[in-house]
A and B are shown apart, each in its own frame.
Chain A
Amino acid sequence: MQTKRTTFSNRWLPYALLAPQVIVTLVFFIWPASQALIQSVYRQGDAFGVRPPTFVGWRNFETLLAEPQYLGSLKATFIFALGTTILSMGVALLFAVMVNRMIRSRDAYTTFMVWPYAVAPAIAGVLWWFIFNPNIGILPYVLEGIGYDWNHRASSTDAMLLIIIAAAWKQISYNFLFFLAGLQSIPHSLIEAAAIDGAGRMKRFWTIVFPLLSPVTFFLMVVNIVYAMFDTFGVIHATTEGGPSQATNILVYKVFRDGFVNLNTGSSAAQSVILMAIVIVLTVIQFRYIERRVNY
């Protein structure tokens, strides 16, 4: 890895400069992570210290993966991440394509699109929870008009839809900004050439614009999956709390529940380890892709 051609020479100063960052990382990141690794292969002792923790190897993982609740949580996470990613990216792409056509009004529309980024996931959850409130919410009222009885307290589907909409809504601004930047970097000459050859608007979009956007699309897909899996704790905790009947109990929420409410340390640690593995894979994908883009 590069440094400057000429560097300062000082024996201790670089270590002193790095110290705060490295100490925080070691104490609050690496140490807890290794604790999770260790706890994941032990069965916890009892609270009085009569029975010490015992080494159980893969047992925690085996129990976990055989547990219908955990498999249900995996499935819920998958549906939630997929739904959030597709909804949010689809809507954002549509808006970005439309805004990109505008000349005078582009900045005005952009301003209106970006600010939901500032809303905390928990607050986004509460806002949609309110709008969809079965008693007084405006959307259930409208849905009732077309014959759909909305109730996210009883229906698993409704609850899942609620958290997907809340999580996707907040993420639209992020995807919108990246799609817009991607669209603006596509050379106009390509589109004009296709127009001269007689390609219509839709054809130009699907054969030129969309393929050229694919690096951005791929990048956003990874970012959105990471967001849906790890940053949406607030959406769920402030609204459905995993219910009804575990329907919205995604992995991050379950790890929290099992660790703090059910006090099942071994299982919670095993879940942490699986989550870490997922983050590591996603981070590696993201960075490999970025390196490739830099080489272009």
Chain B
Amino acid sequence: MVENNRWGNLFAHLVLILGVAIVVFPVYVAVIASTHPSGTFLRGVMPLLPGPNALENYRTVIFEGRSRAGTPPIGGMLWNSFVMAMAITIGKLSISILSAFAIVYFRFPFRIFFFWVIFLTLMLPVEVRIVPTFEVVANLGMLNSFAGLSIPLIASATATFLFRQFFMTVPEELMEAARVDGAGPMKFFKDILLPLSITNIAALFVIMFIYGWNQYLWPLLITTEQEYYTIVMGIQRMVTGGDSEPLWHLVMATVTLAALPPILVILFMQRLFVKGLTETEK
């Protein structure tokens, strides 16, 4: 048996506690900063213990915003982020599961060709073709709309591959039995395949929701009207807007609210999250 060394274990715990501290520290600091009045940040070092202004700060950012700095109340931005994340997630899941179904359960001309077209999306992230994609969306009149925020991002090769792989493991007999019983393809899809895929769908849902919520460059490009700002991109305007130092207590309250939803999703669905992460990247 491998030696069991008490000091070694103690050392490992120390390293890990330090590690957890490093991982948690930035968010701890943000939460603490969001509870202080603005005066705290004028001089000296930022505080490490909670202050008295939590309610006041959160009320200000959610309902009032900072009209002078050009940032609207973030209640609306949170809602926009939520709508965008949900639209991207549901869009990606539905079009991917349908394409995987077509590729696995049908034989038709150009099947391989379509598979490669979908594969190409992996090689063309938005970041590398920013200007022409913006032009296409502008020409289609989709600037400043939820359609423009979500539809260009919903093609997904990884989700299609994952569903394809899963469908390949579904026993052939299920489909044969369904056919003998006279079920057409869509009935088979709806009554057998979809219920079997629930775990995979849920795991992907977690990953894609986080992906959608955290979009930054895309909303930055195609929203010019405040009513479509999303929370993650809105923070940038609070930090760099104006020449003066940012109002850190309000920025950090916003940061906390912006980071909270995806963090909660991960914490409450950790098992699904790990499954989704390790399987989509294989």
Judging by beta carbons under 8 Å apart, are A276 and B154 in contact? no
Contact at B130–A255, with CB atoms within 8 Å?
yes
CB-defined contacts of A276 to chain B, threshold 8 Å: 123-124, 128-129
Given the known inter-chain contacts A115-B266, A237-B216, A237-B220, please indicate yes or no for A98 contacting B252, CB distance below 8 A.
no
Contact, CB under 8 Å: A29 / B26: no
A233 CA / B129 CA spacing, docked (Å): 13
With A36-B131, A136-B46 given, is the CB distance from A119 to B108 under 8 Å?
Answer: no
B65 to chain A, nearest CB (A): 17
- Expressed in whole angstroms, the Cα–Cα distance for A138 and B13 within the complex equals 25
Number of interface residues of A (CB under 8 A): 104
CB under 8 Å from chain A, chain B span 20-69: 20, 22-27, 29-30, 33, 41, 43-46, 48
B131 touches A265 (CB 8 A): yes
Q: How far is the CA of A223 from the CA of B30 in the complex (A)?
A: 29
How far is it, in angstroms, between the C-alpha of A109 and the C-alpha of B18 when the chains are bound? 11
The reply to whether A192 and B2 form a contact with Cβ atoms under 8 Å apart is yes
Contact, CB under 8 Å: A35 / B135: yes
Which of A45-53, A156-164, A171-179 interfaces with chain B?
A171-179
Output the least CB separation between B12 and chain A (Å): 4
B234 to chain A, nearest CB (A): 10
* Cβ contacts under 8 Å, A178 to chain B: 278, 281
| Residue in B108, B251, B277 whose CB lies within 8 Å of A126 | B251
User: CA–CA, A10 to B282, complex, Å?
Assistant: 32
> B223 on the interface (CB 8 Å rule)?
no
Judged by a CB distance under 8 angstroms, whether B70 is at the interface is no
CB–CB A5/B172 < 8 A: yes
**Which B residues are in CB contact (< 8 Å) with A121?**
214, 216
B27 interface neighbour in A33, A120, A127, A133, Cβ under 8 Å: A127
Cβ–Cβ < 8 Å partners of B160 in chain A: 21
Contact A234/B232 with A22-B118, A126-B239 known, Cβ cut-off 8 Å: yes
Interface status of A123 (Cβ within 8 A of chain B): yes
Contact of B236 with A238 in the complex, beta carbons under 8 Å: yes
Q: Which residues of A contact B12 (CB under 8 A)?
A: 98, 101-102
Give bound CA distance, A44 to B4, whole Å: 69
**Structural contact, B23 and A272, CB atoms closer than 8 A:** no
Among A30, A115, A238, contact of B267 (Cβ-Cβ < 8 Å)? A115
Q: How far is the CB of B202 from chain A (nearest CB, A)?
A: 16
Which residue, B103, B125, B258, has most C-beta atoms of chain A within 10 A? B125
Interface residues of A (CB under 8 A from B): 1-11, 13-15, 17-18, 20-22, 24-33, 35-36, 39, 91, 94-95, 98-99, 101-102, 105, 109-124, 126-131, 133, 135-138, 141, 169, 172-174, 177-178, 181, 191-192, 195, 201, 219, 223, 230-231, 233-234, 237-239, 241, 252, 255-256, 259-260, 265, 268-269, 272, 275-276, 279-280, 283, 290
A-B contacts, 8 of them at CB < 8 A, read A2-B168, A7-B107, A14-B102, A24-B151, A109-B20, A122-B232, A192-B1, A255-B127
